[in-house]
Amino acid sequence: MYTLLDGKAVSAKLRGQIKINVDKYKKATGNDIGLAVVMVGENPASAIYVRNKIKACEEVGIKSYAYYLKENTSQSDVENLVCCLAEDKKVNGILVQLPLPKHLNEEKILSLIPAVKDVDGFSLENTGKLCLGVNCLAACTPHGVMKILEEYKIDVKGKRAVVVGRSNIVGKPMAMLLLNADATVTVCHSRTQNLQEECKNADILVAAIGKPKFIKSQMIKDGAIVIDVGMNRDENGKLCGDVDFDNIKDKCSYITPVPGGVGPMTITMLMYNTLQSAERE
């Protein structure tokens, strides 16, 4: 019998704790905590993400500053805005919603966010610190996975963890967080040979691939803990993960559902990082 890892419940609990600490911070300093969100263009998916981030800010008492820039905004105008926000004392965190329109140099723009305000945890400094295992703002989605494991008292120490996916925003930071927590970590990707064998060795399997129901029952060890980061649409347009949930769940000791698993944690960890950012200052 498996236990469902309820990311929605973990997220709600954590938001409650964040709100308490945001209030404490405001009382102690007399200042608000501020998150600036910059969106360029009209990507409908990005618009939903930005709206949800602003809603989450309201929920936990963080002040949000939203900047909606036109699709054809120039590189220098976006850079100037990010530089102003970097200097702005009211702003503790800066988030540039990705993807940016093609004509903009994303790397250059992101590099202007100071590490202390890099609440997405994507900067060179935060990524480097994560690799060194020192205190940093960690990427929200993998950080959220660690919080779920922590909440369910799943000790990763000494366990064999396999991360499928090596993106800079999910797979790599996920592997680092697990390694820093003393798991023995293997990272797999599209060129991995014998993926099934690698996955079958996993006490903890994290799927961050972007392919609907890719992880099948024969890839799972009995009693494995399975974390599904994927957010895809199946053949009927229904939201589904990278894991074939219905077919593998009975082999697992713990498994995250999609929706309601890792997804709700990402924005919550953004709030968490923004609070951290303010507290560190």
CA dihedral 206, 247, 2, 203 (to 10 degrees): -30
- Range in contact with ligand NDP (rule: CB under 6 A) among 10-18, 77-85, 152-160, 229-237: 229-237
Buried b (16+ CB within 10 A) or exposed e, 39-75: bbbebeebeebbeebbebbebbbbbbbebebeeebee
Binding residues for ligand NDP restricted to 180-209, rule: CB under 6 A = 188-192, 195, 208-209
Q: Which of 97, 129, 159, 228 is catalytic?
A: 97
Nearer to ligand NDP, 85 or 165 (CB): 165
Please count the other Cβ atoms lying within 10 Å of the Cβ belonging to residue 210.
14
Binding residues for ligand NDP restricted to 240-269, rule: CB under 6 A = 262-263, 266
Q: Which of 120, 203, 228, 242 is catalytic?
A: 120
Residue 4 is inside which H or E element, if any? strand 3-4
CB of 17 to ligand NDP, least distance (A): 20
Helix axes 171-180, 124-132, angle to 10 degrees: 30
Q: Is 75 an annotated catalytic residue?
A: no
- Range in contact with ligand NDP (rule: CB under 6 A) among 97-105, 146-154, 163-171, 247-255: 163-171
Q: Can you read off the two tokens belonging to residue 246?
A: 């219905």
Q: Is 97 an annotated catalytic residue?
A: yes
CA quadruple 51, 38, 95, 123: dihedral sign: positive
CA quadruple 278, 143, 104, 101: dihedral sign: negative
Q: Is 250 an annotated catalytic residue?
A: no
110, 145, 170, 176: which one contacts ligand NDP (CB under 6 A)?
170
The verdict on 165 binding ligand NDP (CB under 6 A) reads: yes
Q: Which of 53, 172, 213, 221 is catalytic?
A: 53
Helix ranges restricted to H, 73-138: 75-87, 106-111, 124-132
The residue ranges that bind ligand NDP (CB under 6 A) are 141, 164-167, 169-171, 188-192, 195, 208-211, 229-232, 262-263, 266
**Active site residues per annotation:** 53, 97, 120
